[in-house]
Chains A and B, each alone.
Chain A
Amino acid sequence: MTWSIGEIGALATKAARGGGLDWGLAEEAGYAVNWLQRRQLPGVMALCRYLSWRHHGNLTSWPDETGAHGHYCPITIGAAYGDGAFGDEAQFSRIKTPLLLIPFVAIRITEKPLEVNIGSSRFYLAKDQIGYTNSDTAILGDSAPCQISIVSASIPDITVTIVSDLQRVPATATACVSVLENFAKNTYAPATEESRLVGAGAGLNESD
């Protein structure tokens, strides 16, 4: 069983909303998961991990001046970075599930590529190109400081791939899709017999 990118993006949006993000940020989560999955990166898994943690996690808001060592939301910080709230070069302490930050860094690519250092992983982002070190497991790091820098050319130890065909979300995402579906359920109103009839607008004579 595989999924289309479109249905996974829609599911990610609903799951993020069900996981507690405002609608506008939930839409950003949908964008981020789509962006990653199109590049065969584990966006579904990343959002699944993040939302599962967020439920009880020590989340903090920007700028964290409490000294409580909370974690930043990758969607909130990512969206703000994409908006330009921090400039092109920025650094953040303790981004949770930092893979989800990458699609927002990609928004600000101009003529010059960007490099993102996330803990032990490094990403290289240029127009229609992406490269990264480490395996998927390391890419899915739990929480890490992130530094975004402008670079002048490709990085020698990173293999760069050109983004091409539209991908499907593979069967390996099944368990995570189920988790996202459970978060999405938080956005659905429980049905009552009244809402079944009135909410949908169907009358009793519905078959003619």
Chain B
Amino acid sequence: MKKSDAHQNNPAKITTCAPDIGLRPANQVMTLARMGSFHHSRLSFMRVLLRRLKAEKWQFKRSRWNIDAYGVGTATYEAIGPKRSYTLVVFAHDLPAEKRSDRVIAEAWDATFTLHDGLIDDSDIERLEKNVPLQEAGRISNEEFVLSRANRSVRLFDYVRDCLAKGTQPSLDKIEPIGYLMRTTAVYGSGKFGAADRDLWAERPEFSGSFQPELLAVWFIRSFAIDIVEHMAAAKSPKTAVSLDPNIRRRIGVGNSTGLGMAPFLINHPSLVHSWINARETALARVRNLASTDKKGLSNLLTLIAKAAINADEWTSNSPYQTGKTQALRDDLANLSAFVSATSADAPYPWNRIYLWGEANLSLEGQEQLVSLLLEDHGSLIDDLATGMAADESIHFQIDGAMPLSRLREMMNTIYHWTDKIDYTQNDALARVWYVSEEKLEPRLGERFDEPIEPYEQPLAPGRDAVLAMIKIDEWLAKTKNANNDSVAQFLLQHPEHRHIVRRTQTVSALAYAEIQDNTISASMQPIDLLRCKLSFFGASKFDPRSDRWLRITMYQGAPFPDELAYLDPDALCYPPIVHSDHLDR
């Protein structure tokens, strides 16, 4: 990571004529360290969802609330759109404290959820009540799109309930660093556990992009967390209990606790990852190519930097890895603020100037925060890119067997050139094994040379696999007389063990940002970088690693609730408000 003192800024290459700024190259963007420094942006999926729901004037309703004084029962939340409706069905449980666990091997939760297609009747609720509380052990149907569960925050839930029961408001100082009352521990979609196949709803405009049903469910779960804490406060002390102040309520998001289950996703969905990162890079390039701005433009950026600095100050973690990055981010934002303050509104290509300064002077964490901040004020220029942030991986499934083997070899050399610097004969380069545990059928990461897990290895090391395939192809080409005439099909018929990486090579060859250019099985690899990258595209904030492969995040903190969406701008609320002595400046 690069980092500098504000007084020793590196000179950026600053252009005064039209600079013809392109997209950042993949070898700059697609490293785990940088991907693990991504921040949410206005292209993040939860931001895209709320913009669409607001623009299309969706209506929302809590249509059932059959919850008792112990917090047990059923509730439903409806989203009613111009053409279709959806219902979040909630089953709230009385979970003994000793059973509360975020791990995927847990078997009971404070609340379980499903997103149902359309408005729901009691017979469907009865069906779901027998299955949804069981989560992975139950079955949902073609009429359900999402299966999820959540636990209460031990740190915050009872505190907020007790404050409200006493008639007082909880302290923002306690709420902000945590940011949620309930934390989802899994959000399943796309055909999992009997849910509807993605194909069934992928063409619906309200779900264009990625993970829109899942994030609609999570937005409703946030509402449920507020409703149940207020309900239990009222049950505890009916005469004194009060509701949450709207400004405090809005600072409560919904948490998510994520382990390695999410990590292989980025490797297994190269086309989708390309679509996400390509959209983000295109957005950055569009902004950097703007020839001018004005004082208001720079002032808006300074306000955003100030809000991001508040967010960074509130961002707590016990992870040494993240703590160091967060501290660097705080320093970066102070330095960035100073640089932007000194930037003239008359400067040509001002955003490019600021970006290049950041590239030369900020840590990766700071650089990627700057990218998100540069996008923030340019919705009309970049929001259209959100519709392209989806991909059907099956389009690239079929192998081009007619391709000359020598051409495939050239492609591998180009795509996997970064493996040249990795010595796969060294144990450190092969130290890890991605495998699936028998116990919960979830991805895990083990030590190749310490555990008997190699026979179970998942194909999640494209660099290593490409090197092995290139060696075999070279042998083939060396021993064949008319090697130039040999095809990929002929090679694969004899060497089916390389079929996976050959397919992958052909898939990613035309997709610049599809392949992570790092060793995903090295001893020094940080799995949380994979999680962080994906979660930033969801729109998460306050990444809090609990180890190198498990982290907590906050989603929707600051966002409008369903009853506020009609009159509040969700994009204006995604960073913490600046607090003055007598008012909140939004």
Give me the interface of A with B, judged by CB distance under 8 Å.
1-7, 21-25, 27-28, 31, 62, 76, 79-80, 82-85, 107, 166, 168, 185, 187-192, 194-196, 198-203, 205-208
In the A-B complex, list the 7 residue pairs whose CB atoms are closest, starting with the nearest. Answer: A24-B499, A83-B401, A201-B549, A6-B191, A199-B444, A4-B191, A83-B489
Interface centre among B193, B195, B198, B438 (most CB of A within 10 A): B438
Whether B155 and A208, one on each chain, are in contact in the complex, defined by CB atoms closer than 8 angstroms, is: yes
Whether A4 and B497, one on each chain, are in contact in the complex, defined by CB atoms closer than 8 angstroms, is: no
B170 at the interface (CB under 8 A from A): no
Chain B positions within 8 Å of A188 at CB level? 435-438, 441, 456
B387 at the interface (CB under 8 A from A): no
B 149-178 to A, binary, CB cutoff 8 A, 1 in contact else 0: 001011100000000000000000000000
B190's nearest neighbour on chain A, judged by CB, is: A6
Interface centre among A6, A192, A195, A207 (most CB of B within 10 A): A207
How many Å from the CB of A90 to the closest CB on chain B? Answer: 12
A206 to B546, CA, bound (A): 9
Chain A positions within 8 Å of B439 at CB level? 191, 196
Whether B438 and A83, one on each chain, are in contact in the complex, defined by CB atoms closer than 8 angstroms, is: no
Asked if A22 meets B259 with Cβ closer than 8 Å, knowing A195-B437, A206-B102, the reply is: no
Give me the interface of B with A, judged by CB distance under 8 Å.
100-105, 139, 141-142, 151, 153-155, 190-200, 259-260, 397-399, 401-402, 435-439, 441-442, 444-446, 451, 453, 456, 458-459, 487-490, 492-493, 496-503, 527, 546-550
B259's nearest neighbour on chain A, judged by CB, is: A200
Q: Which of B193, B259, B442, B493 is A62 in contact with, Cβ under 8 Å?
A: B493
Whether B444 and A195, one on each chain, are in contact in the complex, defined by CB atoms closer than 8 angstroms, is: yes
A198 to B435, CA, bound (A): 13
A24 to B398, CA, bound (A): 11
Whether A3 and B194, one on each chain, are in contact in the complex, defined by CB atoms closer than 8 angstroms, is: yes
B442's nearest neighbour on chain A, judged by CB, is: A200
A79 to B500, CA, bound (A): 12
Q: Which of B100, B103, B191, B259 is A5 in contact with, Cβ under 8 Å?
A: B191
Whether B489 and A80, one on each chain, are in contact in the complex, defined by CB atoms closer than 8 angstroms, is: yes
Whether B260 and A168, one on each chain, are in contact in the complex, defined by CB atoms closer than 8 angstroms, is: no
Whether A85 and B490, one on each chain, are in contact in the complex, defined by CB atoms closer than 8 angstroms, is: yes
B261's nearest neighbour on chain A, judged by CB, is: A200
A4's nearest neighbour on chain B, judged by CB, is: B191
A42 to B315, CA, bound (A): 53
Can you identify 28 A-B contacts, CB atoms within 8 angstroms?
A2-B194, A5-B199, A6-B191, A6-B192, A7-B193, A22-B496, A23-B500, A24-B501, A27-B499, A27-B503, A62-B493, A79-B492, A80-B401, A83-B488, A83-B489, A84-B489, A85-B490, A85-B492, A185-B438, A188-B437, A189-B437, A195-B446, A200-B437, A201-B546, A201-B550, A202-B102, A207-B102, A208-B154
A191 to B442, CA, bound (A): 11
Whether B499 and A79, one on each chain, are in contact in the complex, defined by CB atoms closer than 8 angstroms, is: yes
Chain A positions within 8 Å of B100 at CB level? 207
**Beyond A5-B191, A79-B496, 9 additional pairs, beta carbon < 8 A:** A1-B194, A3-B194, A4-B196, A85-B492, A189-B438, A196-B105, A200-B259, A203-B550, A207-B102
A18's nearest neighbour on chain B, judged by CB, is: B456
How many Å from the CB of B96 to the closest CB on chain A? Answer: 12
Asked if A24 meets B259 with Cβ closer than 8 Å, knowing A188-B437, A195-B446, the reply is: no
Asked if A189 meets B444 with Cβ closer than 8 Å, knowing A25-B496, A206-B101, A207-B151, the reply is: yes
A169's nearest neighbour on chain B, judged by CB, is: B194
Chain B positions within 8 Å of A83 at CB level? 399, 401-402, 487-489, 492-493
How many Å from the CB of A201 to the closest CB on chain B? Answer: 3
Interface centre among A3, A24, A62, A76 (most CB of B within 10 A): A24
How many Å from the CB of B453 to the closest CB on chain A? Answer: 5
A82 to B496, CA, bound (A): 14
Chain A positions within 8 Å of B192 at CB level? 4, 6-7
A32 to B196, CA, bound (A): 20
Whether A24 and B445, one on each chain, are in contact in the complex, defined by CB atoms closer than 8 angstroms, is: no
Chain B positions within 8 Å of A27 at CB level? 397, 499-500, 503
A98 to B50, CA, bound (A): 50
A88 to B216, CA, bound (A): 47
Chain B positions within 8 Å of A195 at CB level? 437, 444, 446, 451, 453
Q: Which of B142, B397, B490 is A4 in contact with, Cβ under 8 Å?
A: B142
Interface centre among A5, A168, A198, A200 (most CB of B within 10 A): A200
Chain A positions within 8 Å of B487 at CB level? 83-85
Whether A201 and B527, one on each chain, are in contact in the complex, defined by CB atoms closer than 8 angstroms, is: yes
Whether A199 and B500, one on each chain, are in contact in the complex, defined by CB atoms closer than 8 angstroms, is: no
Whether A189 and B456, one on each chain, are in contact in the complex, defined by CB atoms closer than 8 angstroms, is: yes
Chain B positions within 8 Å of A166 at CB level? 197, 199-200
How many Å from the CB of A36 to the closest CB on chain B? Answer: 15
How many Å from the CB of B130 to the closest CB on chain A? Answer: 12
Q: Which of B101, B141, B398, B438 is A191 in contact with, Cβ under 8 Å?
A: B438
A84 to B139, CA, bound (A): 40
A200 to B193, CA, bound (A): 21
A85 to B402, CA, bound (A): 8
Q: Which of B104, B139, B190, B496 is A76 in contact with, Cβ under 8 Å?
A: B496
Whether A31 and B489, one on each chain, are in contact in the complex, defined by CB atoms closer than 8 angstroms, is: no
Q: Which of A4, A7, A84, A202 is B547 in contact with, Cβ under 8 Å?
A: A202
Chain A positions within 8 Å of B490 at CB level? 85
Whether B197 and A200, one on each chain, are in contact in the complex, defined by CB atoms closer than 8 angstroms, is: no
A37 to B295, CA, bound (A): 61
